[in-house]
Amino acid sequence: MNNVLIIILTSIISFFCLSEILHFNNKHYIYLYMIIYVIWLYLILFNRQSFSQNIYTNGAYIKNWFGLVFKNKIVFINLIGNLFLLIPFGIFLKHFNIKIIYAMIITILTVFLIESLQYITKKGIFDLIDVVLNIIGALIGYMLIQNKKQIVY
């Protein structure tokens, strides 16, 4: 059931992102999309079994990771997933006309909060590679609608 829900929520979020990129007028539904996005993030990041211990990445893992990106399917999927995970977040920030410097600060704080919560709850690992990829993903989302006209509420 969770996979079906994740697929449905992913479809809704994808529709939102596409409509923002193509400049459709979704200002009436923005808060609904935000709630759906937060639920989706929870299901993706925290709706799994806990690890028996707290796990974090170290320098040796990061060095090995670069060599595995195109050799290991799971590492490659992790790279793509972490990039796409926060693209909608960047789109939301741009939708609300938050300047890029503030958007980056908000993104960095949010990503560190998510990674820290995963570490504390043992629902994931604190991964510096995830931090970098999530920040890049949010920046991509922000830049996708860079030329969007200001919306007045």
Give the Cα separation of 18 and 144 in Å (integer).
10
pLDDT at 63: 65
Give the Cα separation of 75 and 90 in Å (integer).
23
Mean local confidence (pLDDT), 113-119: 91
Q: Are 47 and 118 in contact (CB under 8 A)?
A: no
pLDDT at 1: 47
94 vs 62, higher pLDDT? 94
pLDDT at 107: 97
Mean local confidence (pLDDT), 86-114: 93
pLDDT at 151 over 70: no
Arithmetic mean of pLDDT over the chain: 80
pLDDT at 65: 66
Instruction: List pLDDT tens digits, range 13-52.
Output: 888 877 777 666 656 778 888 888 888 888 888 887 777 7
pLDDT at 102: 97
Beta pairing partners, 44: none
pLDDT at 114: 93
Instruction: List pLDDT tens digits, range 125-147.
Output: 888 888 999 999 999 999 988 65
CA count, 13 A, side-chain hemisphere, 19:
15
Give the Cα separation of 60 and 76 in Å (integer).
18
Give the CA distances from residue 98 to residues 3, 94, 142, 146, in Å, rounded to whole numbers and listed in that order: 33, 6, 10, 11
The confidence band for 153, taking pLDDT boundaries of 50, 70 and 90, is very low
